[in-house]
Chain A
Amino acid sequence: MPLPLTAEDRLHLKTLQPQIAASPKGRGQLIPLLQMAQKALGYLPDEALSLVADHLAVTRSEVYGVASFYNQFRFNPPGKNPVKVCMGTACHVRGGEIILENFERKLEIREGETTEDREFSIERVACVGCCALAPVALVGETLHGHMAPSKVEGLVLRVRLEKEKAEREAAHS
């Protein structure tokens, strides 16, 4: 089941609409437009695919066919702290899969999914390009090298604690 659109998503869709309308037409624009939509929303909900399809006068299934072919496009909203586990060859040799499993177990979601509170999502990425630090995982924008299963819990906990702290401070002020 796709997660429902949030108010924020709707806002982004609204600003996206004129941007797409103002773009040039032509089949070659399909991928750039999908990239533009994903940049605005973080993912491609059905509504965004429709916008692109209508603009280029192609069917929605055709747009979905192209979008689902490429790894870049996602149909689930990313979490606020997207967890990206490197699955490059070097990370695999050093146990990247075990790291991925640990995140899946701790967050109780599978790779490609987002937690219900939209705090975390997990995805596997091909080489991040710092093979010397393998195995590697990104939480948000921060890269964590030399990952170990026991570090996973700490990372998740840290994000949750920081959030709680921010909420407490917000409540105080």
Chain B
Amino acid sequence: MARIQAAYRILADEARTRREQFDQSSLPKIHIGMATCGIASGALETKAAFETALADRGIDAHVHTVGCVGHCYAEPVVVIDYPDSGFPPILYPEVTPGKAKMLVKLFLEEGDPRFEHIMGATVENEMIPSVMEFARFSREKRVVMDRCGRIDPEQIHEYIADGGYGALAKALCGTPEAVIAEIEAAGLRGRGGAGFPTARKWRTARAAKGSDKWVVCNADEGDPGAYMDRTLLESNPHQVIEGMIIAAMAVGASRGLFYVRAEYPLAVRILTAAVEQAREMGFLGADILGSGLDFDIDLFQGSGAFVCGEETALIRSVEGYRGMPRHRPPYPVERGLDGRPTVINNVKTLATVPPIVDKGADWFRGIGTADSPGTAVFSVVGNVTHPGLVEIPMGVTLRELIFDICGGIPNKKKFKAVQIGGPSGGCLSAEFLDTPVDFDALTRVGAMMGSGGMVVMDEDCCMVDVSRFFLDFTQKESCGKCTFCRIGTRHLLDILRRLTRGEGREGDLEQLETLSRAVKQGSLCGLGKTAPNPVLTSLAYFRDEYEAHIKEGRCPGRTCRTLTAFYIDLDKCARGCDACVGCCPVEAVFTTSNRKKGIDQQLCVKCGECMVACPPDYDAVVKISPAALAPVIERPAEKKTEN
């Protein structure tokens, strides 16, 4: 036991010394968020601009790449820590290459931090308001994402210096039973969506007969609209690896596997490097930290099938087959990969393990609600002012999350619905805004925690179309094993498509409900069991929208394109302004006899470009549903100029 602690202390001391040297250096430090979202917003260009500007001006500074802080609306995010300037570390949002050059010149060279570009200071101080004054920062509670955006994910010593792998050393000093008991006391539930108690899974796996047990980290994040697992792996892979080693120790596994989507190339690269570093440091391999535990991790790149998030399908896929789920029992914890007992945990579940082991079950119980302790990570996107990743204690209400933390609905629009849990989840209307976010409360109202994707929709969204979108997805992703899922989702989709085209019939809604229930009952795995949820919840809470589509041929959100039309209000249209003509991708806008504009309804593809292009002074383009309400403006006959 003393041996384990001594082995860890050597590594920790060395890491801490390295980090302290960096922290105490008087050179300015520029921290740039470089996860996929940052790079997508141009962080690579920003970094290059910093480096060039520093070299041009002969300024010595550390450019430090970190992971993602979760504030996607503000990417690329840069923190400049320049102790000699007298200012605290400052966070700058949306740092373009131009802004980067300007900051190097004006702040690093001349000492002016350019207040107009600042979001806030990252620590409390007397001079600059701290970012903690924003709800987006202060209302979060970070357990899983605590170190994201603070450390360089490619440098293991930064994780160790921050206390990383300490939980592993602590766990190794005790018994596997003690670790499971601690997780059980903490009440940790699987973060993959279903909320199954993690300790119970581990205990069954521990008791299962058989050698060469597996621990698999499920990073097959397939929900279109959720990306927290990817961000976590890109920003702090070692916390997940540490959780995995602790899980291996607890269940007695000797082999580990990361099942990561091949669509996440950056996560794959960072993870591969992280596993390699952990092996070099002796956290993986034979006799980990001198404890006698042997465990190593491989990486498998999932090839993009949504159903492979289901554990038995995931196993089939690793074994080289079509990823189709099978009957349970036997559960994978008894017979899984290669027929060996296999624990499959989500990325966030594993990342929650080290903090629990480190700080204890009581600390964890202090966050969240009695039945769902801890935090939840959501990717809040759609029509919301501050989209991004948000980690909140369980039990916070949807209203607080959407309006207080994420800034509410932009463009003075009204809130209509929030879709939680992706294709398996449900759409909730405004009356459910006071629902607390936890596993059970969300399931009670027909949604589910699911992947943690949360899409906020304003008044211009059509709920029928959103259902169609999700069914389109699940229908494509159904593996085809169960008839009800394979054919039932197809029929659901056909009906929904008809509705969005205005060809709905009497009795369609009843049929949707009957079919949905049948698909739920007749499917083996979670995909089919939950696929009708978007339809059922939107039918329950937005039935009037469905009825408007059928009875009036009207789309209340004015989204379904067959049911809407654009026309130009001739009283408002300005003569000679050709903005709408130029932007139309299909040349549907024509000039009428008095030089005002009209839209050819036969050609119009209803993209809405002319509405955006029309100067606000005129605001002449009108969108209307049903389409028949649009006044007909005849296209004047082509003037023959030649021949």
Contacts of B303 in A (CB 8 A): 31, 34-35, 70-73
The segment from B138-146, B221-229, B435-443, B515-523 that touches chain A is: B221-229
Give bound CA distance, A106 to B587, whole Å: 13
**Closest CB of chain A to B72's CB: distance in Å?**
4
Q: Verify if B419 is at the interface (C-beta below 8 Å from A).
A: yes
Give bound CA distance, A92 to B383, whole Å: 11
A90 touches B455 (CB 8 A): yes
**Closest CB of chain B to A157's CB: distance in Å?**
13
Q: Verify if B115 is at the interface (C-beta below 8 Å from A).
A: no
Q: Verify if A152 is at the interface (C-beta below 8 Å from B).
A: yes
- B228 to A, closest residue via Cβ: A129
Known A88-B225, A126-B224; judge A149-B383 contact (CB<8 A): no
Known A69-B479, A93-B466; judge A134-B263 contact (CB<8 A): no
Chain B 357-395: CB-based contact to A (< 8 A → 1; otherwise 0)? 000000000000000000000010111000110000000
- B612 to A, closest residue via Cβ: A148
Contacts of B40 in A (CB 8 A): 128-130, 133, 136, 143, 145
B230 touches A129 (CB 8 A): yes
- B322 to A, closest residue via Cβ: A69
**Closest CB of chain B to A82's CB: distance in Å?**
14
Contacts of A102 in B (CB 8 A): 585, 607
Give bound CA distance, A143 to B43, whole Å: 12
Pick from A66, A126, A150: contact of B320, CB below 8 A. Answer: A66
**Closest CB of chain B to A90's CB: distance in Å?**
4
**Closest CB of chain B to A43's CB: distance in Å?**
14
Give bound CA distance, A95 to B382, whole Å: 11
Known A90-B455, A150-B609; judge A145-B224 contact (CB<8 A): no
Chain A 56-92: CB-based contact to B (< 8 A → 1; otherwise 0)? 0000000001100111110000000000000111101
Q: Verify if B129 is at the interface (C-beta below 8 Å from A).
A: no
B607 touches A126 (CB 8 A): no
A70 touches B323 (CB 8 A): yes
Give bound CA distance, A152 to B222, whole Å: 27
Contacts of A30 in B (CB 8 A): 320-321
Number of A-B contacts (CB under 8 A): 145
B607 touches A149 (CB 8 A): yes
**Closest CB of chain B to A88's CB: distance in Å?**
4
**Closest CB of chain A to B270's CB: distance in Å?**
14
Give bound CA distance, A125 to B473, whole Å: 11
Contacts of A164 in B (CB 8 A): none
Q: Verify if A19 is at the interface (C-beta below 8 Å from B).
A: no
Interface size class of A (residues with CB under 8 A): 35 or more
Pick from A92, A101, A136: contact of B605, CB below 8 A. Answer: A101
Pick from A70, A125, A132: contact of B388, CB below 8 A. Answer: A132
- A66 to B, closest residue via Cβ: B322
Q: Verify if A11 is at the interface (C-beta below 8 Å from B).
A: no
Q: How many residues of B contact A (CB 8 A)?
A: 56
A132 touches B382 (CB 8 A): no
Contacts of A92 in B (CB 8 A): 224, 466, 469
Contacts of B419 in A (CB 8 A): 89
Contacts of B583 in A (CB 8 A): 149-150
Pick from A71, A98, A129, A149: contact of B304, CB below 8 A. Answer: A71
A129 touches B36 (CB 8 A): yes
Chain A 11-39: CB-based contact to B (< 8 A → 1; otherwise 0)? 00000000000000011111110110000
Q: Verify if B301 is at the interface (C-beta below 8 Å from A).
A: yes
Q: Verify if B262 is at the interface (C-beta below 8 Å from A).
A: yes
Pick from B318, B322, B586, B608: contact of A95, CB below 8 A. Answer: B608
**Closest CB of chain B to A167's CB: distance in Å?**
27
Known A93-B461, A132-B73, A152-B585; judge A87-B609 contact (CB<8 A): no
Q: Verify if B41 is at the interface (C-beta below 8 Å from A).
A: yes
Q: Verify if B317 is at the interface (C-beta below 8 Å from A).
A: yes
Contacts of A134 in B (CB 8 A): 381
B469 touches A89 (CB 8 A): yes
Give bound CA distance, A80 to B607, whole Å: 28
- A134 to B, closest residue via Cβ: B381
**Closest CB of chain A to B287's CB: distance in Å?**
27
Chain B 280-310: CB-based contact to A (< 8 A → 1; otherwise 0)? 0000000000000000000011011100000
Give bound CA distance, A89 to B585, whole Å: 24
Give bound CA distance, A167 to B321, whole Å: 46
Give bound CA distance, A145 to B41, whole Å: 8
- A34 to B, closest residue via Cβ: B303
Which one of A32, A34, A150 has the highest number of Cβ atoms from chain B below 10 Å of its Cβ? A150
B381 touches A69 (CB 8 A): no
B387 touches A129 (CB 8 A): no
Q: Verify if A131 is at the interface (C-beta below 8 Å from B).
A: yes
**Closest CB of chain B to A161's CB: distance in Å?**
19
Q: Verify if B354 is at the interface (C-beta below 8 Å from A).
A: no
B321 touches A72 (CB 8 A): no
- A73 to B, closest residue via Cβ: B303
Q: Verify if A127 is at the interface (C-beta below 8 Å from B).
A: yes
Contacts of B605 in A (CB 8 A): 98, 101, 105, 149
A71 touches B301 (CB 8 A): no
Which one of A106, A130, A131 has the highest number of Cβ atoms from chain B below 10 Å of its Cβ? A131
Contacts of B422 in A (CB 8 A): 89
Give bound CA distance, A105 to B586, whole Å: 9
Contacts of A66 in B (CB 8 A): 320-322
Chain A 142-157: CB-based contact to B (< 8 A → 1; otherwise 0)? 0101001110110000
Q: A89-B469, A131-B379 are in contact. List 15 more A-B contacts (CB 8 A).
A: A66-B321, A66-B322, A69-B305, A71-B305, A87-B224, A90-B382, A102-B607, A105-B605, A127-B226, A131-B382, A132-B37, A132-B387, A133-B40, A149-B583, A150-B609
The chain A residues found within 8 Å of chain B, CB to CB, are 26-32, 34-35, 65-66, 69-73, 87-90, 92-95, 98, 101-102, 105-106, 125-134, 136, 143, 145, 148-150, 152-153
7 shortest interchain CB distances as A-B pairs: A89-B225, A70-B303, A131-B381, A71-B304, A30-B320, A72-B303, A90-B381
Question: Can you list 5 contacts pairing A with B, beta carbon distance less than 8 Å?
Answer: A34-B303, A66-B322, A88-B224, A102-B607, A131-B382
